[in-house]
Structure 1
Amino acid sequence: MPNETSRREFLRLSALATAASVVGACTSASQTVPGGTSRVASRAAGGRVTPGTVLFQGDSITDVGRNKTNAAANATPALGGGYPLLVAAGVLRDVPDPAWRFFNRGISGNRVPDLQARWDADTIALKPDVLSILIGVNDYWHMRNGRYNGTLADYESQYAALLAATRTALPSTRLVIMEPFVLVTGSVDASWHPDFDARRAAARRVADRAGATWVALQEPLDAAAARTGPAYWLGDGVHPTPAGHALIAELWRKAVGI
């Protein structure tokens, strides 16, 4: 008879195949944020996760074909086909409560200035308890192909300003900053480094200064790519495959603790 560990792994993989979940409940501690404490708390010593509003923001890696005419919370078309859907599905299964409200407002092609231009309507107005942001690859990629002239300093200062404005408007919102990532395959070659790595470091500095939860992604993706090859996780070096989205969702839930 399979042991308990094997049974759990089978159930986890089965859930991923149906896009119902990525991981079981996570147990990492919550992070106190400047200006207040989020209503969405982490599970601690048998404690209960308090449901609330979770908003995902970013570019195409977050967008993943979401239906932008559907603004409903917890709606599969509105969440898109990537890690936001998998995070939402897992939490809704593990901590069932109608108070959960998951939203995805990622837009393909966005850079930090694009977020700034739509921030009031697409973020502040939703008053999330947890705000998750993944942004940065286009700030570099579009610069490489001549479609944008933003510098590393621009990326860091604009990102910091965005978070500072968010803290002012939403002092109790828990900020979650996801690490920008790439793998050398498809559209990404070795010439992306070390410049792209500098963007990753800038995002970490911005997160630390804002007191945000940091979701490390590059190192886990590097380790996964070493086992199977990079295209298994990021088909073109930038955009995750289903396996890549599942890994990102798992890492997000572990870091955030819900």
Structure 2
Amino acid sequence: MNNQSNRRSFLRELSLTALGATVIPQLVSAHNPHPKKLTFDKDEAVVVFQGDSITDAGRSKDQYYANQAGGMGRGYVMQIVGQLLGTHPEQNYQCYNRGISGHKVFQLADRWDIDCLSLKPDILSILIGVNDYWHTLNGNYDGTVDIYERDYRALLDRTKKALPDVKLIIGEPFAVEGGRAIDEKWEAFHGYRKVAKAIASDYGAVFLPYHSVFAEALKSAPVGYWCPDGVHPSIAGAHLMAATWMEGYNKLKR
């Protein structure tokens, strides 16, 4: 490798380090100025991850008990759970991934009793919305942003009624510019992002600004490095998501 290549690699590493150490905390803090303090009244803490294929990430559906490696998938959830279990053994975290590829909000609602409420989470992390828009483009779904908001709020109302003390972490649905699946038709998708942020604020949830994090990451490396199709992150993209989630979680703890 020549000196020019070494320099490029060095500069990229510096840029990526800054993204994780400085930019992500700033972005999360900007969206969450007054986080609620996280407290547990028991020795174990249950964490449930919900969403679509980004959360699912190829998890084994027959490994549904807490902390089973195959049940975490190959994406951001696996990276988060590794950090939680590895750095907080005293908390006895019980982590579950219940994301299912292709799902929209109403499909989460259909399985909510089993895949969420019955697990009695102390922390509930939800990332949903990309399919609520994407599937309208191929004619497989006739939903709207208003339906997305109505269904999402109804789901959280139901959740808070059953689990009034649950701490919510809501991820921003994202569409990374330049990805293979992203074109001018995705302009309307930004409305879904705005709805997710408004819902997070109204329900006292920590909001994870994934779209902004990926936009910032494009300054360091091209979209193919982070999220080739603009929707499903690479290993590096999953790392960004996990780092963003942990920053949000740490704000809950303060």
Instruction: Give the TM-score range, shorter chain.
Output: 0.7 to 0.9
- Aligned match of 1:31 in 24, 28, 35? 35
TM-score, L = length of structure 2: 0.82
Where does structure 2 lack aligned partners over 5 or more consecutive residues? 1-12, 18-31
**Inter-partner Cα distance in structure 2 for 1:239 and 1:197:** 17
Could you tell me which amino acid in structure 1 is paired with residue 40 of structure 2? R
Confirm or deny: 8 A CA contact 2:136 2:142 kept in the other structure: yes
Confirm or deny: 8 A CA contact 1:40 1:130 kept in the other structure: no
Cα displacement string for residues 205-254 of structure 1 (whole angstroms, at most 9, x for unaligned residues):
11111111111111110011132111211121100000000010000000
SS at match of 2:220: helix
Question: If each structure's helix is expressed as a fraction of its own residues, which one has the higher value?
Answer: 2
**Inter-partner Cα distance in structure 2 for 1:226 and 1:31:** 29
Q: Please, what is the CA RMSD of the aligned residues?
A: 2.3
Are 2:44 and 1:70 equivalent residues in the alignment? Answer: no
C-alpha displacement at 1:191, in angstroms? 2.5
Aligned to 1:105: 98
C-alpha displacement at 1:65, in angstroms? 0.5
**Inter-partner Cα distance in structure 2 for 1:38 and 1:189:** 43
**Inter-partner Cα distance in structure 2 for 1:91 and 1:112:** 27
Confirm or deny: 8 A CA contact 1:182 1:237 kept in the other structure: yes
**Inter-partner Cα distance in structure 2 for 1:171 and 1:148:** 32
* Residue identity (%): 40
Equivalent residue pairs, number: 222
Are 2:166 and 1:168 equivalent residues in the alignment? Answer: no
Following TM superposition, the consecutive aligned residue runs of length 4 or more in structure 1 with deviations greater than 6 angstroms are: none
**Inter-partner Cα distance in structure 1 for 2:33 and 2:78:** 23
SS at match of 2:125: strand
C-alpha displacement at 1:97, in angstroms? 3.0
Confirm or deny: 8 A CA contact 2:45 2:91 kept in the other structure: no
**Inter-partner Cα distance in structure 2 for 1:124 and 1:29:** 28
Are 2:191 and 1:187 equivalent residues in the alignment? Answer: no
Alignment of 1:108-127 (within 5 A): 108-127=101-120
- Aligned match of 1:234 in 221, 227, 230? 227
TM-score, L = length of structure 1: 0.81
**Inter-partner Cα distance in structure 2 for 1:51 and 1:144:** 43
Where does structure 1 lack aligned partners over 5 or more consecutive residues? 1-8, 14-27, 42-49
